Structure 1
Amino acid sequence: MEVLGRLLALLVVLVLGAGLRASGFLGASRTSRLNAVAYYLALPALIFVSTYDQAIGRLLSIELVAGLLVVLLVTASLAWIVHRNRDSRGRQSVAIVQSYHSNLGYLGLPLVAATFDAEVTAIASVVLGVITLVQLPLSLILLSTLNGASAAIADELRGLATNPVLLSLLAGLSVGSLGVTVPTNAATGLDVLGSIALPLALLCVGASLQIDVPTMDFGATGAVVGLKIVCMPALAWLVFSTLSVDAPTLTATVVMFATPTAVSTYVFAAELGGDSEFASLNVFATTLVSMATLFVVISLVP
């Protein structure tokens, strides 16, 4: 019941964000500022406090990296097969990308931190870093290639070097591996800042959701939902169970892969010639349905 209550609370905050957007209170400018606070301050703080007292050798392993790549690339391959005959390249490219591109930063890691212990959260931070390095370039390349987009993706890829998620993960793992002591006051302040990552992110996601039921392609959207929030976590469970990883690693990876499609895929679709309306519908559908599937996943993991 505790898990259900927590997820219902998340749904309330998500709906609140959508309501504030509909009322005009959370317009584009305010949503952008909230996004900046969440992405550049709260989320990096959460990642740092989750990893600064952990040595990199305890968190990063060959089994973890190999398993993450297998789950991501197999899901992307299945998405290619399932969506290969969509009626337009713009819709096909978006469907493929949104079937594997997870909302690990704005929903996955904050949800893990609010639900599980510090060890699981630390591993989830590493999952976020590793997958970001792979899924972001993969999504940009697929969208630009399939749509023949003229927009250069080099700037987006170069942005990985200054990505606050990756920088905070690197800082936390470096501090932990070197045994550097973080002042108590600083750690406490960062912990408080990190604790607002989830509500802030949910407000931003809610303010970004849009739906137009009459234009909805139920078959295509249903396939995206099935691949993203049913097939992907099930595959993660199978892969990491086969690798015989410990319980915290299994929990972190399965829950992270059970998250819905990232809102950023809508932005990428709009910039790189994808079907942006279809992308928005898929973000909405996967986010809404994931509130139920995440309850099942969290209840089942060790």
Structure 2
Amino acid sequence: MTLAEIFLRTLETTLPVFAMVFIGLGLRKLRWIDSAFVNTASALVFRATLPTLIFLSILRADLDTALNPGLLGFFLMATLGSFALVWLWSLWRVPRPDRGVYVQGCFRGNCGIVGLALAASMYGDYGLSAGGILLGLVIISYNILSVVVLLTYQSEQKLRWGHILGDIGRNPLILAVVIAVPFAWWEIELPQWVMTSGDYFASLTLPLALLCIGATISVNAIRSDSGPAFGAAGFKMLTLPALCTGGAYLLGFEGRELGLMFLYFASPTAAASFVMVKALGGNARMAANIVAMTTLLASVTITLGVFILESAGAI
């Protein structure tokens, strides 16, 4: 296969996902959708349709393939290493009040929507099932690390681990994984009409979620004074994906496993990071800038990353 053919195949994988993001941006500009729609649709995705999609994907999965302890272990170690590296870098380059926002913006990716959508586009059922299991680990680690670094630089806030762990335990995406794994392990079959209805409902997830991401991008925010946000965006979209994916390759990961991890490492900063910063009284404008810039950059950096990996025969 020539490089041109590989590049076209890469575009066929990534363009549909990012096209939906830019359609959402355009619909918001045309005022065909508004904040009320985005809030309602985002809540529906998070609480209902995405958990349904994850549950059904794991239910149909071959757990011997999808449940990969080596992949989960490496991803956790890479996340902790990225978190430590960015925090150390911020001590040198970022003003103290903005360090927590900077660190969270660098390591916390939007794996639940963008990463999972790309995994499904590239690897079908395997991407959804293995990506759904990996998402459970992502949610737990990202939330705990984000709270730790943000509260380190928000001295007026108190660290309430009971509340944090309670929120994680009630997270619909984690509950979907926890419930689905025993069903898949014991090969419990649901009635066909339940599966079909669930498929209809779950099919709303990715288009609706991607439209909402696009609708929340603020170009005006990027034009404003961004401070260290540009550096955070570069770290998130270039440095960390290259380091983590390169490390995985050197340790012997390849094919679908390596591709899945790259898509998760290279996902743009999660919109939830802005919500958490705002709730804790941090620099919300900087958080919004990081989310917007990484989301816009992702269409280029992820496409190029997939092209490079496929050209090298790594995935």
1:94 corresponds to which residue? 101
Q: How does 1:247-266 map to 2 (within 5 A)?
A: 247-266=255-274
Determine which of 40, 47, 71 is the counterpart of 2:54: 47
1:105 aligns to what? 112
- The alignment partner of 2:267 has SS state of coil
| CA 1:246–1:216: 2 relative to 1, 3 Å | closer
Corresponding letter in the other structure for 1:286? T
Cα 1:230/1:271, change in 2 over 3 Å: same
- Counterpart amino acid of 1:215? D
| Cα contact 1:258–1:294 (8 A) shared by 2 | yes
2:41 aligned residue (34, 38, 41): 34
Name which of 129, 144, 150 aligns with 1:143.
Answer: 150
Judge which range, 139-148 or 264-273, deviates more: 139-148
Q: Distance in 1 between matches of 2:163 and 2:126?
A: 35
1:244 — aligned with what? 252
Closer/same/farther in 2, CA of residues 263 and 135 from structure 1, 3 Å limit: same
Matched residue, 2:91: 84
Alignment of 1:59-74 (within 5 A): 59-74=66-81
Q: Tell me the matched-pair count.
A: 300
CA distance in 1 between partners of 2:190 and 2:243 (Å): 38
Contact 2:131/2:260 (8 A) holds in 1: yes
Q: Which moved more, 1:166-175 or 1:178-187?
A: 178-187
2:224 aligns with 214
Larger mean CA deviation between 164-173 and 246-255 belongs to: 246-255
Deviation at 1:99, TM superposition (A): 0.5
Residue deviations 1:88-146 (CA, integer Å, cap 9, x gap): 43321111111000101121112211232322332111211111111111101211221
Partner of 1:165: 173
1:201 deviates by 1.0
Is 242-251 or 61-70 further displaced after alignment? 242-251
Q: Which runs of 5+ in 1 are unaligned?
A: none
Distance 1:288 1:83 in 2: 23
Q: Distance in 2 between matches of 1:265 and 1:15?
A: 21
1:291 and 2:268 are equivalent in the alignment: no
Match of residue 177 from structure 1: 185
Is the aligned partner of 1:226 residue 2:234?
yes
For residues 20 and 152 of structure 1, what CA distance do their matches in structure 2 show?
39
Cα shift at 1:24: 4.3
CA deviation map 1:10-55 (0-9, x unaligned):
3332233233334544333221110012112221122112211335
**8 Å contact from structure 2 (residues 90, 99) kept in 1:** yes
Tell me, in whole angstroms, the C-alpha distance in 2 between the residues paired with 1:289 and 1:41.
29
Letter in 1 for 2:225: T
SS in 2 for 1:69: helix
Kindly indicate whether the alpha-carbon contact (under 8 Å) linking 1:18 and 1:208 is maintained by their aligned counterparts in 2: yes
CA 1:29–1:89: 2 relative to 1, 3 Å: farther
TM-score, normalised on structure 2? Answer: 0.87
Aligned match for 1:267, one of 275, 279, 285: 275
- In angstroms, what is the RMSD of aligned CA positions? 2.2
How far the C-alpha of 1:164 sits from its partner, in A, is: 1.0
Q: Taking structure 1 as the reference length, what is the TM-score of the superposition?
A: 0.90
Report the AA paired with residue 268 of structure 2.
P
Give unpaired runs (5+ residues) of structure 2. Answer: 1-7
Report the residue type matching 1:132 in the other structure: I
